Chains A and B, each alone.
Chain A
């Protein structure tokens, strides 16, 4: 089946620190990969995506590269801000006969202190 594993949290950083959140996956087909972000009190929103091997998704200073050989999609940001404090979810989607569904990781809580 399909599954996503994220690094355990919570993660606490100081402002301007470098961020890495690890994500690995298993999939029965060729997945598309996503990072979703959940800000406090809100629903999830798409942060970035990659649909094929070696693609790099990027948005708001965050990046993640689709690594098929290591089945990974690690999220990185060079300099985090207090406003980046949120829960981050790695997810995958595989096209099925009747459509596609998302499989989510456990989520990683990030807190950035001033």
Chain B
């Protein structure tokens, strides 16, 4: 089984709808991240959480919110989806006790299309 899972894998929705993307991990890592990937722009950080009580905005948090329900679960919500939020979304985890600064483990991605 995959260590970092994302649901759904694909989603098509309409402008104005509320959407939740979910991420679960079995790696026992304390840190979790949400990124979006757009062609030619690489990955951009939306939100990150260093533990259950810690939530931080990334570089492109406007229009998004997150919830860290447990150490293993980190959800991303689009309160009112708009077409320019069409992208590939990745969840990632890392371990603060690891000696490898910056190594993150990624889920398979959720492809979101907003019509």
Contacts and interface: CB of A to CB of B under 8 A. Distances in A.
Interface of A: 4, 32, 34, 41-46, 49, 51, 89, 91-93, 95, 98-102, 104-107
B45 A43 contact: no
A89 B109 CA distance: 16
Interface of B: 4, 31, 33, 40-45, 48, 50, 56, 58, 90, 92, 96, 100-109
Contacts of A41: 108
Nearest to A92: B102
Given A101-B48, A106-B42, A43 B4 contact: yes
Nearest to A1: B59
Contacts of B102: 32, 34, 49, 91-93, 100-102
A99 B31 contact: yes
